[in-house]
Amino acid sequence: MLKLYAMFLTLIFLVELVAAIVGFVFRHEIKNSFKNNYEKALKQYNATGDYRSDAVDKIQNTLHCCGVTNFRDWEDTSYYSEKGFPKSCCKLEDCSPQRDADKVNNEGCFIKVMTIIESEMGVVAGISFGVACFQLIGIFLAYCLSRAITNNQYEIV
């Protein structure tokens, strides 16, 4: 049973290692995918409570940004032609910017999101390294205990 436990722990460790390597190798594709999906969410934006629209509003409210690269990205959307900028683009709490560019945040959200992700990568890497160390220790101890049991160093009850 201990050997089976150690094998499963090794398998989980290898899956985590492969996922980390794939994430590192394809990080640029992940950025491009995020940017494309964010642009798509902007183009399909509506204020009716769609999950994509809610995500766009949440990002823009939290990070105080507007659009993908800047606030002008909204000018290409159907929502802007009907109602103007969404309220989540406002610099102040209660404003209705409509088409007034002075009342909205100028910075785009893509750069802000990528900056936050890159700044937190050290923490994620450190936690992942710590978990991996504990897994390796668990694998080593399971094999040692299994070997000790098979060598009859412990009395079988």
* Mean pLDDT of the 44-66 span: 87
Reading the block at residue 20, the tokens are 């980390």
Q: How far is CA 133 from CA 6, 87, 97, in A?
A: 14, 47, 52
Question: What does the pLDDT read at residue 65?
Answer: 92
The average pLDDT across 3-13 equals 92
Residue 76 token pair: 């290409």
pLDDT at 155 over 70: no
Between 137 and 76, the more confident residue is 137
Residue range 2-21: average pLDDT? Answer: 91
Whether 99 shows a pLDDT value over 80: the answer reads no
Residue 59 makes CB contacts below 8 A (sequence gap 6+) with 65, 109, 113
Give residue-wise pLDDT tens across range 112-145.
999 998 888 888 888 988 999 999 999 999 999 8
Q: Which two tokens stand for residue 41?
A: 């969410």
Q: In which residue are the tokens 């950025």 written? A: 31
| Of residues 76, 120, 102, the one with CA closest to residue 68 | 76
The mean of the pLDDT values for the chain is 87
Of 24 and 69, more confident: 69
Across 74-87, average pLDDT = 87
Quick check: pTM over 0.85?
no
Q: Six-digit token pair at 63?
A: 């990070």
